[in-house]
């Protein structure tokens, strides 16, 4: 049960690291780093939902 929860939670981190190349972090201040992380995870949510969102637009891409 624990590994099933872990797989669900760690999937957005995989998207942020592999799709967007966010591997190393430079400290630029708490506000800037927080803003970048929020933006990256919002994009990761869109990336994970793309198969459900694209048919609504009439386009389906792999």
Summarize the confidence of residues 33-58 as an average pLDDT.
87
Within-domain flag for 31: yes
- Closest to 26 in 3D by CA, of 15, 17, 36: 36
In angstroms, rounded to a whole number, what is the distance separating the alpha carbons of residues 45 and 12? 7
pLDDT of 60 reads 61
Question: Using CA atoms, how far apart are residues 53 and 7, in angstroms rounded to an integer?
Answer: 23
Q: How many domains does the chain have?
A: 1
In a domain, 62, yes or no: no
Q: Is residue 15 part of a domain?
A: yes
Q: State the pTM of this model.
A: 0.71
Q: Kindly report, residue by residue over 2-43, the tens digit of the pLDDT.
A: 888 888 889 888 899 888 888 887 888 999 999 999 999 999
The answer to whether residue 40 sits within a structural domain is yes
In a domain, 21, yes or no: yes
Please calculate the CA angle 58-15-37 and round it to the nearest 5 degrees: 105
What domain range includes position 36?
2-57
């Amino acid at each position: 049960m624990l590994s099933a929860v872990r797989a669900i939670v760690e999937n957005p981190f995989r998207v942020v690291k592999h799709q967007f190349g966010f591997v190393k972090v430079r400290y630029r201040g708490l506000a800037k780093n927080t803003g970048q992380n929020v933006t990256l995870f919002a994009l990761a949510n869109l990336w994970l939902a793309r198969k459900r969102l694209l048919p609504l637009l009439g386009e389906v891409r792999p």
